[in-house]
Chain A
Amino acid sequence: MTEQIDKALAREYEAGFVSDVESETFEPGLDESVIRRISQMKNEPEWMLEWRLSAFREWLEMEEPDWALVDYPKIDFQAISYYSAPKSMKDKPKSLDEVDPELLRTYEKLGIPLIEQQMLAGVAVDAVFDSVSVVTTFRDKLEEAGVIFCPISEAIQKYPELIKKYIGSVVPKKDNYYAALNCAVFTDGSFVYIPKGTRCPMELSTYFRINEQNTGQFERTLIVADEGSHVSYLEGCTAPQRDENQLHAAVVELVAMDNAEIKYSTVQNWYPGDEDGKGGIYNFVTKRGICHTNAKISWTQVETGSAVTWKYPSCVLKGDNSVGEFYSVALTRGRQQADTGTKMIHLGKNTKSTIISKGISAGKSNNSYRGLVRMNPGADGARNFTQCDSLLIGDKCGAHTFPYVESRNPSAIIEHEATTSKVSDEQMFLCRQRGLDPEKAVSMIVNGFCKEVFKELPMEFAVEAGKLLEISLEGSVG
């Protein structure tokens, strides 16, 4: 495994000094030849290329969706470059002095160690000894347990049978516009396989994957938990990420075989743009999991970044007695727009789903919850409980709830609760009367509001998420 890391490090090095800029980043534009080139750069087998091309042909026939409550200028897909190799040493900031001080201030507040600050900010770090050893011990331990955790591009080469079997099995190529685009042009992402009856010995996090840095734009993640296995996966980290790509269209597929359990946690804190929303990231993600008999998938997300978010982590509860959960905190401020929620599709008998959504809007932002609960005819005794709470800070922001319910089984039970509240003057006064400054007061009240979701996050993540909210809310008061 050390080899792999050495290689990755060497590749960066090479990229910086040998190859010319042209070969690292494709010129903007999208047609079949671009897809062939991506596939070639990745050394992919023929079947993978064919899969990409068929997705591309589907995509050409599709329309960009416009039903979400988000408003952004039309995206010119021909103006985007679809391949960019890891940043070359010469393009990267040479030292932290060259990085946006705002970003550094935030890292500092989050208490992120210097070496990690450098990695996150994309500073050319050529001697990451600490991290290398962390990654190595980490990989050794996983290998011992038989867990596969590697870049998906590597998995396509090394585990073609697993990939062929599962890629696109949860989110079909033509599922939606952005998913189809992702299938055609994805460049990297993670692959996880947990063997039968195995409990993954540690939380898996993209944070630990050293060659993570530039998988950004069209990321693809596939997690397969075989029968009776268990895994907890953390996506991203709480630090804001430096990123020049405006459009993100990721796909995440989860497969939980019989009696398996997958816990997938995300903290997303991409650049939201300036006060007017300029320059922020558009985040159009498709996340879906399928649960076989007695399986359980739990999505937990804390979203505070991006200018526009369009995201509905979903569960297809196919097997009898399977369980789907969705816990979400979405915070919008400034001119951010978020349209997010979940879909719970109940197919099997006695399937159960729980949805807890907490939307917080500040500034002039708009925050929408959009959730679908569908009970199919076979879903005897299925149950759903949904709770959507919105919290408003100030009076220029908006919160909206769009629950869709489709029940085709009379024995299914669906419960829905929704509340909208404000951070009240009385609460603020109480906090300040006890000596808390207004910003601390708001973040404390907001953290309290999010408690039910935070308690689903792994411990360290929950603490960081709390701090993140505090930082995100700065300047939202008064």
Chain B
Amino acid sequence: MSNTETLLSIKELHASVEEKQIIKGLNLEIKPGEVHAIMGPNGAGKSTMGYVLSGRDGYNVESGSVILDGEDLLEMETEDRARAGLFLAFQYPVEIPGVSNLEFLKASVDAQREARGEDAITSADFLKEAKAACKQVNLPVSFLKRGVNEGFSGGEKKRNELMQMLLLKPKLCILDETDSGLDIDALQVVAEGVNSQRSADRSFIVVTHYQRLLDYIKPDFVHVLSEGKIVKSGDASLAHELEAQGYAWLQTAPAEDELEG
């Protein structure tokens, strides 16, 4: 990281799903330790951006570049991107029936350790860490024994995503609407979870629809993603403006759009 001031650099990214162009010229620079909030209307391409960065099958990059920590992210397999420190908290976490949370998390942590040339963590040590993480996100320890997301409530799933982040200690965390569907207490838990992880060598992309979350997590930048690209950037105050006025005033395009004036 020493030779580069930038953790993530996205340049002129164009990507499509099933022949449909969704990301259309995305640019974004993130420095180590920064928190970037991304807001924007439904269907703008926020989740798609997370999938494209993570290398999900079926999401095709047509042009542009993405460099993470000096490495060409687009050349890497999905799992290698994760091992390089990229973490995505899903908007809609999926269930894996019968696979216990603990087993899943330990396998993930071990896979990442192995990639770094470290030995697998001992079960006892891992259990200790996992219990602490449970406590931090306010989930009962019994959730470690349950199947991954199996029968979890919406809010529990989101907290479970956060727990995974705590254990994997990524360099770049993309939180895709981790605050949606949370009760007020849970919202605080998520915000505190993120704040506790803020550090000089960890950056965040926080996708959210609500400025409320940003009152707890003070972002360094707020961007508006619309129709596959960033149409406006600013500081935390931009979130307040959006909350008050919506997105319509930002819509690029049709000239007859009076609000633009």
Chain B residue nearest to A452 (CB atoms) is B98
Residues from chain A with Cβ under 8 Å of B212 in the complex: none
Residues from chain A with Cβ under 8 Å of B88 in the complex: 433
User: Does any Cβ of B come within 8 Å of A449's Cβ?
Assistant: yes
User: Does any Cβ of B come within 8 Å of A427's Cβ?
Assistant: yes
Cβ-defined contact, B78 with A433, below 8 A: yes
Cross-chain contact of B94 among A427, A436, A452 (Cβ < 8 A): A427
Cβ-defined contact, A448 with B57, below 8 A: no
User: Does any Cβ of A come within 8 Å of B132's Cβ?
Assistant: no
Interface hits, B142-159 → A, CB 8 Å: 147-148
User: Does any Cβ of B come within 8 Å of A424's Cβ?
Assistant: yes
- Name which of A34-42, A86-94, A183-191, A437-445 contacts chain B: A437-445
Cβ-defined contact, B168 with A435, below 8 A: yes
Chain A residue nearest to B51 (CB atoms) is A429
Q: Give the bracket for the number of chain B residues in contact with chain A.
A: 20 to 34
Cβ-defined contact, A448 with B112, below 8 A: no
User: Does any Cβ of B come within 8 Å of A463's Cβ?
Assistant: no
Cross-chain contact of A430 among B57, B83, B96 (Cβ < 8 A): B96
Cβ-defined contact, B54 with A448, below 8 A: no
Cβ-defined contact, A430 with B93, below 8 A: yes
- Minimum C-beta distance from B47 to chain A (A): 12
The complex places the Cα of A426 from the Cα of B149 at a distance, in Å, of 13
User: Does any Cβ of B come within 8 Å of A450's Cβ?
Assistant: yes
Cβ-defined contact, B111 with A440, below 8 A: yes
User: Does any Cβ of B come within 8 Å of A74's Cβ?
Assistant: no
With A447-B98, A448-B97 already in contact, the answer to whether A435 and B79 are too (CB < 8 A) is yes
Q: Please encode chain A, from 448 to 463, with 1 for each CB lying within 8 Å of some chain B CB and 0 for all others.
A: 1111100000000000
Cβ-defined contact, B164 with A434, below 8 A: yes
Q: Please encode chain B, from 75 to 86, with 1 for each CB lying within 8 Å of some chain A CB and 0 for all others.
A: 001110011000
Cβ-defined contact, A424 with B94, below 8 A: yes
User: Does any Cβ of B come within 8 Å of A417's Cβ?
Assistant: no
Cβ-defined contact, B97 with A440, below 8 A: no
Residues from chain B with Cβ under 8 Å of A429 in the complex: 51, 54, 56-57, 78
Most buried by B among A432, A434, A445: A434
User: Does any Cβ of A come within 8 Å of B58's Cβ?
Assistant: yes
User: Does any Cβ of A come within 8 Å of B210's Cβ?
Assistant: no
Cβ-defined contact, B57 with A435, below 8 A: no
Interface hits, B55-110 → A, CB 8 Å: 56-58, 77-79, 82-83, 87-88, 90, 93-94, 96-99, 103-104, 107-108
Chain B residue nearest to A444 (CB atoms) is B99
Most buried by A among B87, B108, B112, B147: B108
Most buried by A among B90, B96, B104, B168: B96
Cβ-defined contact, B98 with A449, below 8 A: yes
User: Does any Cβ of A come within 8 Å of B248's Cβ?
Assistant: no
User: Does any Cβ of B come within 8 Å of A20's Cβ?
Assistant: no
User: Does any Cβ of A come within 8 Å of B115's Cβ?
Assistant: yes
Chain A residue nearest to B114 (CB atoms) is A435
Cβ-defined contact, A435 with B115, below 8 A: yes
Residues from chain A with Cβ under 8 Å of B54 in the complex: 429, 433
Chain B residue nearest to A426 (CB atoms) is B94
User: Does any Cβ of B come within 8 Å of A98's Cβ?
Assistant: no
The complex places the Cα of A431 from the Cα of B87 at a distance, in Å, of 12
* 20 sample A-B contacts, Cβ–Cβ < 8 Å, listed by A number: A424-B94, A425-B58, A429-B78, A430-B90, A430-B93, A430-B94, A432-B79, A433-B82, A434-B104, A434-B111, A435-B79, A435-B108, A435-B111, A435-B115, A438-B79, A444-B104, A445-B96, A447-B99, A449-B97, A452-B98
What 11 additional pairs, Cβ within 8 angstroms, besides A430-B90, A431-B104, A435-B79?
A: A426-B94, A429-B51, A432-B79, A432-B82, A433-B54, A433-B78, A435-B111, A435-B112, A435-B115, A437-B111, A444-B107
